[in-house]
Amino acid sequence: MKIHALICTRDKNLNPITKKLVSYLSSISINVKLLVGQESIFEGYKKGFAKCHPDPNDIFILCHDDIEIKMKPQHFIACLSRVLGKEVGFAGPAGTTFLGPNAVWWDEQPWRDGLHRGQVFHIKEEKEYSTDYGPFGPVVVLDGLFLAAKADVLSQIGLSKPDYFEGDWDFYDIHYTSEAFKSGLTNITVPIKMLHHSSGSLVGRDSWHKNREAFIANNTLPLTC
């Protein structure tokens, strides 16, 4: 079994955060594929996956280029290896047990109702703080800052952009993880300590809203577990 990481990034001149991420992953013999200047995250992941010529049991990490994994490497590897069993689709640090009619996983009301799962660290004014969504466990969908799955899962659900999506960079995480869930696999949040150097401001762009509306029109919601 090998572990591969597919990371889309805009520029071959990597910023310090991305360099640190690549160094961390490479230091523990993870095969890192930087997908530079891609026109679509869907096609980037699809091409990167194919270039790895994976064995079905290989583990793939699909992640943002602005994260830090802040745990001992051996614990990180052990966590992924332990959780990605036969019946598991995707694993990651944050998600929800309820994807409502608006298809926004981090919606405030389900959060207040205790339906979200996981934890992600963020940074503000050079201070780290924890965003606690809820206890770790099974979810219907996961956030795309970090997704891990076996190669056979990625082959099963497919990495291509759905025909009904207009935007090339949005809602891939909800599409991928909901497809795994609907196929009968269990998605799960796991305690990987992760610092995300982003506030998610791109959510406001038109392509995010268009893909969200297209997802709602082409899927039966809500999804619950």
Which CATH number fits the domain that encloses residue 8? 3.90.550.10
Q: Which of 153, 140, 55, 159 is nearest to 98 (CA)?
A: 140
User: What pLDDT does 206 receive?
Assistant: 84
User: What pLDDT does 140 receive?
Assistant: 98
Domain that holds residue 54: 3-224
Joined together, the tokens standing for residue 195 give 């610092």
Give the Cα separation of 52 and 177 in Å (integer).
Answer: 21
What is the edge-to-edge ordering of all strands in the sheet holding 138-139? 31-36, 3-9, 59-63, 146-150, 88-92, 186-189, 138-139
Q: Chunked in runs of 10, what are the mean pLDDT values of the chain (225 residues)?
A: 95 93 96 96 97 97 96 94 95 98 96 97 89 97 98 98 96 98 98 86 74 97 98
Rg of the Cα trace of the chain? 16
In angstroms, how far is the first alpha carbon of the chain from the final one? 30
User: What pLDDT does 200 receive?
Assistant: 56
User: What pLDDT does 14 receive?
Assistant: 94
Give the Cα separation of 97 and 114 in Å (integer).
Answer: 9
User: What pLDDT does 221 receive?
Assistant: 98
Q: Which of 155, 127, 136, 51 is nearest to 94 (CA)?
A: 136
User: What pLDDT does 201 receive?
Assistant: 53
Amino acid at 53: H
- Total number of domains constituting the chain: 1
